[in-house]
Amino acid sequence: MAFPIRSAVAALCAGLAATLLTTAPARAEKQEHAWTVSAGAHAPRARITLDDSTGTLNLSVTRDGRTVIEPSPVGIVTEQADTSRELRFLHRKNRTVEERYRTKSGKRLDRRVRMHETRLSFATPAGARLDLLVRASADGVAYRYVLPAGHGDVLGETSAFNLPPDARAWLGTYRADNEGQFTEYTAATAPTGEYSDQALFETAGGYTLLAESDLTGTYSGARLAHDNGSGTYRVKLADARVKTDGPLTTPWRAMVTGDLATVTRSTFTDDLAPASKVADTSWIKPGTVLWTWLAGGRPAGQSLAAQKAYVDYAAERNWPYEAVDAGWYFKTDAWDTTDPDWQTDSWMPELTAYARAKGVGIIVWIHQRELDTPEERAQWLPTLERWGVKGVKIDFMDSEAQPTLKWYDAVLADTAAHHLMVDFHGSTIPKGIQRTWPHVMTLEGVAGEEKRNNTAAHLTTLPFTRNVIGSMDFTPGAFQRVGLRPNSDAAEAGLAVAYESGLQMFAGTPESYDARPLARDFLDQLPAAWDDTRLLAGRPGQEAVLARRSGDRWFLGGVYAGAARTAEVPLTIGSGRWLVETIEDGTGGLVRNRKVLRGGDTLTVDVVAGGGFAGIACPWRPGVTTCHR
pTM of the model: 0.92
pLDDT at 575 over 80: yes
CA–CA gap between residue 353 and residue 311 (Å, rounded): 11
- Are 426 and 394 a contacting pair, CB within 8 Å? no
pLDDT per position as a tens digit, 168-222: 999 999 999 999 999 999 999 999 999 999 999 999 999 999 999 999 999 999 9
Q: Mean pLDDT throughout 13-36?
A: 49
Do strands 321-324 and 361-367 pair parallel, antiparallel, or not at all (unpaired)?
Answer: parallel
Convert 5-57 into a string of H (helix), E (strand) and C (coil).
Answer: HHHHHHHHHHHHHHHHHHHHHHHHHHHHCEEEEECCCCCCEEEEEECCCCCCE
Chain centroid to CA 431: 6
Per-residue confidence band for 336, with pLDDT thresholds at 50, 70 and 90: low
- Sheet with 553-560: list strands edge to edge: 532-539, 543-550, 553-560, 612-619, 577-586, 589-598
Q: To the nearest whole number, what is the mean pLDDT of the chain? A: 93
Q: Which of 334-338, 432-436, 515-519 has the lowest mean pLDDT?
A: 334-338
Per-residue confidence band for 298, with pLDDT thresholds at 50, 70 and 90: confident
- Are 538 and 463 a contacting pair, CB within 8 Å? yes
Per-residue confidence band for 330, with pLDDT thresholds at 50, 70 and 90: low
Spell out where 502-599 has E strands: 503-506, 532-539, 543-550, 553-560, 565-570, 577-586, 589-598
- Are 597 and 571 a contacting pair, CB within 8 Å? yes
- Are 349 and 384 a contacting pair, CB within 8 Å? no
CA–CA gap between residue 49 and residue 520 (Å, rounded): 56
CA–CA gap between residue 562 and residue 124 (Å, rounded): 55
Convert 231-244 into a string of H (helix), E (strand) and C (coil).
Answer: CEEEEEECCCCECC
Bigger pLDDT: 12 vs 541: 541
pLDDT the model gives residue 23: 36
**Catalytic sites, residue numbers:** 395, 450
CA–CA gap between residue 351 and residue 339 (Å, rounded): 22
CA–CA gap between residue 38 and residue 47 (Å, rounded): 9
Tell me if the domain spanning 287-530 has CATH number 3.40.50.10860.
no
pLDDT per position as a tens digit, 220-253: 999 999 999 999 999 999 999 999 999 999 999 9
pLDDT at 364 over 60: yes
- Are 299 and 324 a contacting pair, CB within 8 Å? no
Q: Which strand (E) or helix (H) includes residue 411?
A: helix 402-417
Q: How far is CA 363 from CA 320, 346, 366, 409, 478, in A?
A: 10, 15, 10, 21, 19
CA–CA gap between residue 56 and residue 122 (Å, rounded): 11
Decide which of 1.10.8.60, 2.60.40.10, 3.40.1080.10, 2.70.98.10 is the CATH code for 32-272: 2.70.98.10
pLDDT per position as a tens digit, 109-166: 999 999 999 999 999 999 999 999 999 999 999 999 999 999 999 999 999 999 999 9
- Are 102 and 275 a contacting pair, CB within 8 Å? no
Largest CA distance in the chain: 115
Q: Which strand (E) or helix (H) includes residue 58?
A: strand 57-63
* Burial degree of 606 (CB within 10 A; 0-12, 13-18, 19+): middle
pLDDT the model gives residue 339: 57
CA–CA gap between residue 265 and residue 107 (Å, rounded): 7
Q: Mean pLDDT throughout 570-583?
A: 98
Per-residue confidence band for 289, with pLDDT thresholds at 50, 70 and 90: very high
- In 3D space, the residue among 497, 464, 449 whose CA is nearest the CA of residue 172 turns out to be 464
pLDDT at 337 over 60: no
pLDDT at 12 over 80: no
For residue 338, count other CB atoms closer than 10 A to its CB.
7
Per-residue confidence band for 363, with pLDDT thresholds at 50, 70 and 90: very high
Residues 6+ apart with CB under 8 A from 82: 75, 124
Do strands 391-395 and 361-367 pair parallel, antiparallel, or not at all (unpaired)?
Answer: parallel
pLDDT the model gives residue 87: 97
CA–CA gap between residue 454 and residue 152 (Å, rounded): 44
Domain boundaries, the chain: 32-272, 287-530
Convert 293-304 into a string of H (helix), E (strand) and C (coil).
Answer: HHHHHHHHHCCH
pLDDT per position as a tens digit, 452-507: 899 999 999 999 999 999 999 999 999 999 999 999 999 999 999 999 999 999 99
- In 3D space, the residue among 400, 395, 457, 458 whose CA is nearest the CA of residue 180 turns out to be 458
pLDDT the model gives residue 343: 58
pLDDT per position as a tens digit, 307-320: 999 999 999 999 99
Sign of CA dihedral 435, 438, 440, 443: positive
- In 3D space, the residue among 69, 256, 66 whose CA is nearest the CA of residue 159 turns out to be 69
pLDDT per position as a tens digit, 370-400: 999 999 999 999 999 999 999 999 999 999 9
Backbone angles phi, psi at 3, to 5 degrees: -65, -45
pLDDT the model gives residue 126: 94
pLDDT the model gives residue 302: 79
Per-residue confidence band for 16, with pLDDT thresholds at 50, 70 and 90: very low
Question: What's at 455, amino acid-wise?
Answer: T
CA–CA gap between residue 186 and residue 182 (Å, rounded): 13
Residues 6+ apart with CB under 8 A from 117: 37, 94, 95, 96, 97, 133, 134, 135
- In 3D space, the residue among 568, 569, 574, 570 whose CA is nearest the CA of residue 549 turns out to be 574
pLDDT the model gives residue 292: 92
pLDDT the model gives residue 300: 79
pLDDT at 335 over 70: no
